[in-house]
């Protein structure tokens, strides 16, 4: 292959583009560049690509040679490709007969750095046909992982620092490693060759190594087998001295975990889960992963990277992960991280079918890749290990998180046609494409049924294999599957499943059902509208599959919708009688439900009497919904807290998880009103007490994963609020940890035990945990310690912590902004120290945290914590004084000020009623309690704090 490359150098046109020369007006030029020029037309398509890189890792550079076969589909005078390399030194083109094609002179090629394209200009028109373009260029290995492309990271072997280079190309960073057609619609096989220092391990790429040769003393070249037809963003390679384990491999189905030297004993769990999940997805889709290579054997590598800007990346054959998201240590990896490892493996493996085998045509349709991976990350992992309860957990991590984002009036739809520029591409990698899309899929699965849903996915994959998919392709696959399902035709006559699906894809936001029940007649009036926390509500209509039940004959198990609401309003009936109704059984549909006040009152009464009469996932839905209705002023404060009153005896993880974050949201907005804040904390402690007593402080061998998670979240919050029992137990565990070298704090208790130990300790406690962090070999446990270190109340230690976040190489680049946010979360009194750190170090933060966008992330994190008007004024003065130096972060700072002021205004408006409501509730539970401060005095104090 090297000989072939050398022969193709004949006919290269060597020209150094003059960047100062004015661009020629391309009047009359036929080209494959689109408008805007971020995009390429499909009148030129790649059919095969060879990428040859000569990598000098220690020098952070490489020499590149690309040969791309293209099909030209119409007469052209110019071919355009994407590029963002250091410099292009030569370009040549030959036709199908290997004859040179004359390029324009001068300006045989041009570089447009803004649009990141290479324009190859021909001396005359070229006709449709096959051509080969060869490009010689120089590239750099980015030393900031957030720059993506081909980037460098580092790791430690003992006290020795070593380096590696790896890739992250999605969505438009392949062009940083080689000129290419860097859009998902352009798919072709790739052959990758890597030349490296012989002292390093064999390189890794999408496919297995085909040949190895020593090209010069100390230099070795590996050429890999050709990939299947694939988009450029899914190409990957890695240069290092990493090592691989093959504990579950067979010759037909190889499976490897790859990592730095040292933690190879942490490969086992990912191996077991990865093999099982691959098998489950093979069965589900009836398409074997190992048969996807189009005649070339597929491999199944999963590589753990100390520095990785994303969580993971689904490169075909070689998935990249942040190390904490792949390596599992039985002694140190807690239940939440175990779950995350399982789901992220499932997410990336699901992409082999959705994203790799069939790829979204353009990033506006990113949901065709990410929604399915986000859906299957829970259910494929659940099939592999049902003890993790991931089917139920989906409600919390996907449905409720998506509904929260969709409450914004500015949220994007799943199919966002405005995606054009690189910044708009980046912004679409968010909740709408991931969590919302997954939630809509779950709605569709319950609507059409498990088998019909699966059949639709099989039709879509088989019809579009090795190509691209459009939303209409998905809708047609569902139409075909539903047409073959007689139960669907009977249940939903004249319903077009494609129209139902499309309404969720095209409409931004999510609906809320307003349900009003006439108990005397049984008449139920239902109205749908878009749910928003603020702003003008548009007149949006969804096709909503409806499930419901009533207390006269409760049934929470039948999740097949009884009808589809396709109009603004409708009326249904239940038997006449005084029975509550509940809609959206087990939160199986993607919508909220708000009831008339009387039905809410009946639900609240039922929950207090016997909460188990209502399914736990509906209890989770109810608590989350009612807090959002309170925020949106769609229910009264008194009714909301009445509905939530059953929590005093609730310990279920799913019920508490969805409401705890909303309680914390409200609690932080009361921080500037000390008495209201104190009363709310007392209320929360009383509400948590029942769960604390039921769960206890010690983990039992028989505890389910949800019980373990419930204890983790309840104790973490209770210790933070000052629950004395939680504090005492945590301090006892902390003292044992400090005084007994053989004692390990139970891994699922470490977050709150470590935090409590530091919050109630001194500088010595901080230094002790900091040394534990520095010596750890498990990155997930290091993140737990990094969060806990910020709980110190010592100004000296917190300042040390923040300084280390910039300068300590043991704190990975992706954890630096986390450390800044942890410092804000650690204690309320941390805020002035964090602000002063920002004021004095923002330029160094920008440099060491990973660039301008990471500084923006830190500044945006302040919005929730700026609850004191004096600090807001101080922050504003600094912001405007440093406006030029802050760059784009200045606008982030202005948004922070607006958000902080809005939070204060909102709290000032509701605090008096919240205070009176929870005070009355606490009095009813504690008859001996007396009100020490009159409501009138409190209201005067609240008004004094208002500054609107």
If phi > 0 it is left, if psi is from -120 to 50 it is alpha, else beta; for residue 129 that is left
Per-residue DSSP letters for 543-558? -EEE-EEETTS---S-
C-alpha dihedral, 382 to 387 to 392 to 395, nearest 10°? -70
Told to judge if 222 belongs to the known catalytic residues of this protein, a careful annotator would answer no
587 is in an annotated binding site: no
364 near 384, Cβ under 8 Å?
A: no
Total Cβ atoms within 10 A of residue 236: 27
Round to whole Å and give the CA distance between 215 and 2.
Answer: 10
341 near 797, Cβ under 8 Å?
A: no
316 near 230, Cβ under 8 Å?
A: yes
Residue whose pair of structure tokens reads 């890597």 in the numeric block: 194
β-pair partners for 46: 70
Round to whole Å and give the CA distance between 539 and 344.
Answer: 37
β-pair partners for 516: 525
Residue whose pair of structure tokens reads 């009464």 in the numeric block: 605
Q: 3-state class of 55 per DSSP?
A: strand
- Hey, what are 610's tokens? 């016997």
- Hey, what are 711's tokens? 């204890």
347 is in an annotated binding site: yes
119 near 109, Cβ under 8 Å?
A: yes
Round to whole Å and give the CA distance between 915 and 677.
Answer: 9
Residue whose pair of structure tokens reads 């990471």 in the numeric block: 854
| φ/ψ of residue 282, rounded to 5 | -55, -45
- Hey, what are 63's tokens? 């020499």
Round to whole Å and give the CA distance between 408 and 509.
Answer: 7
Burial class (CB in 10 A: 0-12, 13-18, 19+), 496: middle
479 near 498, Cβ under 8 Å?
A: yes
451 near 488, Cβ under 8 Å?
A: no
Q: Which of 435, 447, 540, 433 is nearest to 501 (CA)?
A: 447
Round to whole Å and give the CA distance between 324 and 314.
Answer: 17
Residue whose pair of structure tokens reads 């990973």 in the numeric block: 850
Round to whole Å and give the CA distance between 457 and 107.
Answer: 49
Q: Kindly list the distances between the CA atom of residue 96 and the CA atoms of 14, 52, 71, 191, 670, in Å, as whole numbers in the listed order.
A: 22, 22, 10, 20, 72
Q: β-strands 190-197, 219-224: how paired? A: antiparallel
Per-residue DSSP letters for 672-698? TSHHHHHHHHHHHHHHHHHHHHHH-SS
DSSP state of 432: I
- Hey, what are 557's tokens? 């198990």
Round to whole Å and give the CA distance between 738 and 768.
Answer: 8
Q: From the candidates 280, 348, 650, 679, which is the catalytic residue?
A: 348
460 near 287, Cβ under 8 Å?
A: no
Round to whole Å and give the CA distance between 761 and 759.
Answer: 6
Round to whole Å and give the CA distance between 399 and 510.
Answer: 11
Q: 3-state class of 197 per DSSP?
A: strand
- Residues 6 or more apart in contact with residue 742 via CB below 8 angstroms: none
| φ/ψ of residue 551, rounded to 5 | -75, -10
Q: Which of 591, 650, 438 is nearest to 583 (CA)?
A: 591
Residues of each annotated binding site for Zn(2+):
347, 351, 370
Q: Which residues are the active-site residues?
A: 348
Residues of each annotated binding site:
347, 351, 370
């Amino acid at each position: 292959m090297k000989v072939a490359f050398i022969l193709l150098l004949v006919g290269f046109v060597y020209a150094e583009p003059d960047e100062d020369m004015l661009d020629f007006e391309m009047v009359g030029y036929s080209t494959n560049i689109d408008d805007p020029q971020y995009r390429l037309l499909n009148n030129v398509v790649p059919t095969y690509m060879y990428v040859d890189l000569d990598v000098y890792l220690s020098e952070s550079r490489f020499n590149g040679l690309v040969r791309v076969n293209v099909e030209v589909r119409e007469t052209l005078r110019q071919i355009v490709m994407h590029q963002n390399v250091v410099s292009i030194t030569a370009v040549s083109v030959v036709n199908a007969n290997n004859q040179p094609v004359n390029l324009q002179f001068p300006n045989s090629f041009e570089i447009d750095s803004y649009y990141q394209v290479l324009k190859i200009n021909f001396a005359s028109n070229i006709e449709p046909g096959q051509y080969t373009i060869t490009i010689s260029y120089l590239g750099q290995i980015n030393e900031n992982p957030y720059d993506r492309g081909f980037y460098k990271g580092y790791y430690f072997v003992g006290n020795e620092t070593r380096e590696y280079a790896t890739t992250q190309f999605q969505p438009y960073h392949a062009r940083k490693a080689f000129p290419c057609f860097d859009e998902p619609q352009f798919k072709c096989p790739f052959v990758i060759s890597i030349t490296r220092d012989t002292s390093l391990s064999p390189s890794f790429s999408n496919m297995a190594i085909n040949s190895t040769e020593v090209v010069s003393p100390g230099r070795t070249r590996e050429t890999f087998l050709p990939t299947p037809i694939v988009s450029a963003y899914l190409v990957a390679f890695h240069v290092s001295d990493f090592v691989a384990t093959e504990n579950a491999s067979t010759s037909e189905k190889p499976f490897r975990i790859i990592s730095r030297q040292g933690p190879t004993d942490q490969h086992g769990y990912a191996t077991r889960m990865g093999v099982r999940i691959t098998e489950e997805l093979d069965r589900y889709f009836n398409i074997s992963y190992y048969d996807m290579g189009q005649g070339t054997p597929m491999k199944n590598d999963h590589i753990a990277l100390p520095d990785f800007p994303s969580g993971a990346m689904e490169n075909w054959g070689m998935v990249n992960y942040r190390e904490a998201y792949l390596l599992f240590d039985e002694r140190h990896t807690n239940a939440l991280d175990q779950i995350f490892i399982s789901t992220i493996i499932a997410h990336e493996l699901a992409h082999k079918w959705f994203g790799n085998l069939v790829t979204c045509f353009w990033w506006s349709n990113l949901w065709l890749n990410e929604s399915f991976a986000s859906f299957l990350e829970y259910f494929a992992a659940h099939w592999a290990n049902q003890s993790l309860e991931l089917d139920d957990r989906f409600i919390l991590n996907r449905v409720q998180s998506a509904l929260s984002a969709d409450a914004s009036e500015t949220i994007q739809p799943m199919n966002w046609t405005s995606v054009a520029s690189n910044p708009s591409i980046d912004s679409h990698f968010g909740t709408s494409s991931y969590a919302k899309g997954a939630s809509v899929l779950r709605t569709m699965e319950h609507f059409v049924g498990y088998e019909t849903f699966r059949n639709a996915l099989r039709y879509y994959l088989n019809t579009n294999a090795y190509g691209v998919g459009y939303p209409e392709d998905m809708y047609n696959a569902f139409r075909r599957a539903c047409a073959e399902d007689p139960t669907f035709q009977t249940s939903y006559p004249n319903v077009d499943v494609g129209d139902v699906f499309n309404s969720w894809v095209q409409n931004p936001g999510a609906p809320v059902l307003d349900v009003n029940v006439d108990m005397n007649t049984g008449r139920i009036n239902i109205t749908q509208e878009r749910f928003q926390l603020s702003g003008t509500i548009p007149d949006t209509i969804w096709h909503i599959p409806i499930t419901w039940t009533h207390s006269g004959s409760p049934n929470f198990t039948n999740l097949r919708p009884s009808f589809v609401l396709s109009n603004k309003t409708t009326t249904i009936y239940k038997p006449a009688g005084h029975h509550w109704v509940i809609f959206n059984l087990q939160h199986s549909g993607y919508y909220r439900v708000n009831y008339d006040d009387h039905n809410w009152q009946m639900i609240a009464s039922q929950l207090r009497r016997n909460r188990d009469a209502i399914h736990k996932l509906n209890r989770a839905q109810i608590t989350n919904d009612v807090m959002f209705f309170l925020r949106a002023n769609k229910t009264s404060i008194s009714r909301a807290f009445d509905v939530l009153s059953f929590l005093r005896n609730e310990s279920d993880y799913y019920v508490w998880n969805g409401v705890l974050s909303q309680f914390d949201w409200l609690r932080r907005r009361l921080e500037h009103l000390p008495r209201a804040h104190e009363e709310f904390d007392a209320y929360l402690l009383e509400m948590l007490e029942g769960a604390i007593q039921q769960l206890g402080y010690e983990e039992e061998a028989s505890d389910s994963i949800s019980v373990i998670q419930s204890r983790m979240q309840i104790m973490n919050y209770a210790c933070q609020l000052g629950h004395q029992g939680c504090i005492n137990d945590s301090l006892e565990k902390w003292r044992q940890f400090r005084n007994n070298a053989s004692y390990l704090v139970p891994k699922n208790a470490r977050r709150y035990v470590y935090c409590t130990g530091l919050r109630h300790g001194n500088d010595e406690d901080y230094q002790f945990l900091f040394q534990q962090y520095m010596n750890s070999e498990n990155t997930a446990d290091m993140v737990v310690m990094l969060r806990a270190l910020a709980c110190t109340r010592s100004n000296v230690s917190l300042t040390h912590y923040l300084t280390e976040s910039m300068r300590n190489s043991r704190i990975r680049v992706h954890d630096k902004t986390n450390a800044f946010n942890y410092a804000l979360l650690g204690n309320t009194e941390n805020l002035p120290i964090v602000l002063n750190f920002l004021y004095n170090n923002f330029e160094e933060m920008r440099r060491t945290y990973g660039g301008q966008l990471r500084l923006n992330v830190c500044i945006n994190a302040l919005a929730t914590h700026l609850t004191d008007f004096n600090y807001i004024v101080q922050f504003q003065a600094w912001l405007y004084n440093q406006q030029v130096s802050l760059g784009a972060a200045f606008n982030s700072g202005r948004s922070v000020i607006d958000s902080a002021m809005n939070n204060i205004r909102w709290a000032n408006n509701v605090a008096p009623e919240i205070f009176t409501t929870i005070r009355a509730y606490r009095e009813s539970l504690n008859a001996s309690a007396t009100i020490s401060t009159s409501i009138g005095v409190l209201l005067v104090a609240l008004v004094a704090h208002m500054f609107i």
